[in-house]
Structure 1
């Protein structure tokens, strides 16, 4: 009875933010309806199953993505609260069970929405496989989210890890390539994917692919239970201080505090290195050595050119990794500093100095991810013009870093993660991809990644610079987003009752207290 009461409370807390509930419905629908066909086409190009079978698997992938991220925050963001409840007398087993049941309820909603979207889009020929596989995917990723949340309290690191596992599972799994790869058998959704798309692996004995899928689901839940119970014994606290002064002194102090804050999170910098390396080299390794033809601009003329698909795929993976990482870092750079920065503003630190420091950390993180991605890409691809190719990747990194910063006050923590991943995935990975869209679409021109993507393709494959208008569009996006972030941040850190045109700096406070 106590477990059910806590489960209702946890669900009520989750849906208190209506954006969270809305995205549990919107994200699977968009993923299955919008991205399903493109993913099926990608699977065919990469030598995988392709066709309707992959579109069935998209329901499981969508449910897994939502369940993993939602359960991560159910676990990581409540560490101290849960510990206090256990100290007050609630058995840890009941609290952990309530958290996992809550995650299961969220997974059921995500799975139901994904299956409904699949039914409306393509129909479901084999409901047993589709429903069972989608539910197993959701349960496995509830367990993954709980496990990561138990071990990684920092939201940037935790969400990047969950998304990294999900990306590897989807794009390097058996639906997107050969089903008999030994290296992919350790992926959490390997056997579930094989069973959903009805492709016998040949390495499922003695249990068979369904038996291994059920076994991996059970093992994931047991491991998540153990880690979630252990997490209630750990607590972390941190403090921040700010010092007022002149504008230069304040900017320097804010910058030092921001760098110290980022230095306390070395795992972030490791992830900014590891994720692009694995993502780009993995994509290159699994891409079949086949030619692909699409249009490029060369000296003012539109020509059709043929390239080796592994080279183009490797070159276009870099901006996807960069945009996703930059958006997530931008999201949490602003979100996690909001309360501390507002207190610093109340103490007299200028919002401009605070924002400059935060954006400096964001820019450095985005440039680190870009540098690693370019170095990794250079191992498998030789761009025609490296300066243009590198500049385009930097533009994409800065644009999506600002997009992430702008998402923070709009969507919050959970909803912001969903959008921060989904937007660059749909924009850079699907709409702007030359592999899926040889010609730019009308939609592509209205998305943030259009300018950087066109310049990137131009620098990668063309000798001359033929994309001045897309470059201007990309720079316009950068300027508009920077202005929007500055205005939003200033309003968020402004003390209550203080107009935007005033600032309670040290001089103002000193004049108010000076005696005649």
Structure 2
């Protein structure tokens, strides 16, 4: 029975082909593209850098995929699991099948990451250690996914929490920073990372780094089993307030979206808290040294020396803004898709419906921007604040629209993984002035190039010399708006009613959003 359930759960998990593709593609792209820039970042921030960071990227990718896969498996199947238990299925069989399913998906992503790492840099002198460490990463994050899934029902909040914990674990872990910081020893993969890259901590005690890594792994398995068991217990479902009736067009659509967003207080708290913590922690771990940046001033290209602690906060803010704005765009469209189809059937104008949805996306993006810039202003002083703020808003709106496109194209799981990957590679690596003095030529085609150059210009120079990048950023914004409108009209269109008898009721579209 357990094997049968596992096979059925896996079939359901990969029913959408793009999900299976993304489970393999995201770790491969992350390892291939991000390993070298992250190694450079580690050296810049005082970490070991080099092969140690590139080896750890396989574990980071596998862990993130495992957490996201388990979160959505738990949230999507919670009601079905309870019905199975009510029908007489032993809870232990159900939990074993769920764990086996999550572990299989995690191992698939881990294998893809390891293959990419082997092709990129090789597995080093101790391939067994690298493989075992990557699997331990996946198992530890296998517990983080269902734990957040049990506590946080809204997928936006849950995804942001997973991303937030992953960022803290990775960027403040032992290979991207100093390995001897006492505060970072409580991170879930601290000892796993040290053992995986063969970097002895000196503070493992009698257990040693491997002993603590195995302890974390065993505790994660126990926690995952406990959480999944608890969520499969039967209890009365909570009734949700019915949505309000909508008649007015644009005004009603915006008011309805704001009312729904206002109920999700946790989301707004996360949109504010995540960038605040991210920027402050980044500044707190910045080494005291200079870096060279390429800027334009009075029509000339100049290499400018900058004190790293003074500019790090200002360059980290757009990463937080872009990532969270993308997630807001993904879930705003997906959560409202079935409702939008019903509104279209009721005669709601598509233009007004699109404008109301984009207004909610813009609001979420602006809240994230305001929170990021409020804390950035305490640790960073831009040379031209109005242009710096305008560039940040441009980044937020651009990536909010990218999220609007990713949701209908890739669904929930695939959309989240792509939403994590695109702003990270674009804003966090290719456009980052921390890693290179200027973006490479091919990165000029990325959506963050234009607004990113305007932001750097405003941060470091008093004059404005980035007219070309500004026009590129505006063109991206206009093109993404047109693409979002076209995709929205198609995805929000009423489901075609074919071969239906005259008195037969129309089919429900409540389950169409994935």
TM over 0.5: yes
Quote how far apart the aligned CAs of 1:311 are.
2.3
After TM superposition, the structure 1 = structure 2 runs for residues 318-397 of structure 1, keeping only pairs within 5 Å, are 318-397=317-396
Quote how far apart the aligned CAs of 1:184 are.
0.7
> Could you say what secondary structure the match of 1:174 adopts?
coil
Task: Indicate how the Cα distance of structure 1 residues 185 and 281 shifts in structure 2: closer, same or farther if over 3 A, else same.
Answer: same
- Alignment of 1:261 onto 2:287: no
Distance 2:404 2:471 in 1: 22
- Alignment of 1:150 onto 2:127: no
CA shift digits 1:391-437 (9 cap, x unpaired): 11100000000000100111011100000010000000000011212
CA shift digits 1:285-337 (9 cap, x unpaired): 11101100121111111111111112222111100000000000100000111
TM-score (norm 1): 0.93
Quote how far apart the aligned CAs of 1:252 are.
2.0
Distance 1:174 1:256 in 2: 47
- Alignment of 1:181 onto 2:161: no
Q: Which residue of 2 aligns with 1:315?
A: 314
RMSD: 1.4
Quote how far apart the aligned CAs of 1:242 are.
6.0
Q: Which residue of 1 aligns with 2:417?
A: 418
CA contact (8 A) 2:246 2:253 kept: no
Q: Which residue of 2 aligns with 1:215?
A: 215
Q: Give 5+ residue unaligned stretches, structure 2.
A: 498-514
Q: Identify the range of structure 1 (218-227 vs 370-379) with the bigger mean alpha-carbon deviation.
A: 218-227
Distance 1:371 1:411 in 2: 29
Distance 2:413 2:310 in 1: 35
> Could you say what secondary structure the match of 2:296 adopts?
strand
Q: Give 5+ residue unaligned stretches, structure 1.
A: 499-516
CA contact (8 A) 2:449 2:469 kept: yes
Quote how far apart the aligned CAs of 1:200 are.
1.5
Task: Indicate how the Cα distance of structure 1 residues 259 and 154 shifts in structure 2: closer, same or farther if over 3 A, else same.
Answer: same
Distance 2:85 2:349 in 1: 41
Distance 2:159 2:228 in 1: 17
Q: Which residue of 2 aligns with 1:104?
A: 103
CA shift digits 1:463-494 (9 cap, x unpaired): 10010111111111111111111111111122
Q: Which residue of 2 aligns with 1:165?
A: 165
TM-score (norm 2): 0.94
Distance 1:340 1:236 in 2: 20
Q: Which residue of 1 aligns with 2:194?
A: 194
Matched residues, number = 494
Task: Indicate how the Cα distance of structure 1 residues 476 and 236 shifts in structure 2: closer, same or farther if over 3 A, else same.
Answer: farther
Distance 2:7 2:165 in 1: 29
Quote how far apart the aligned CAs of 1:177 are.
0.8
CA contact (8 A) 2:246 2:256 kept: no
Distance 2:238 2:42 in 1: 43
> Any runs of at least 4 consecutive aligned residues in structure 1 with deviations exceeding 3 A, and if so which?
233-245
Quote how far apart the aligned CAs of 1:201 are.
1.4
CA shift digits 1:139-179 (9 cap, x unpaired): 11111111111211211000110111111111011111111
CA contact (8 A) 2:331 2:407 kept: yes
Quote how far apart the aligned CAs of 1:372 are.
0.7
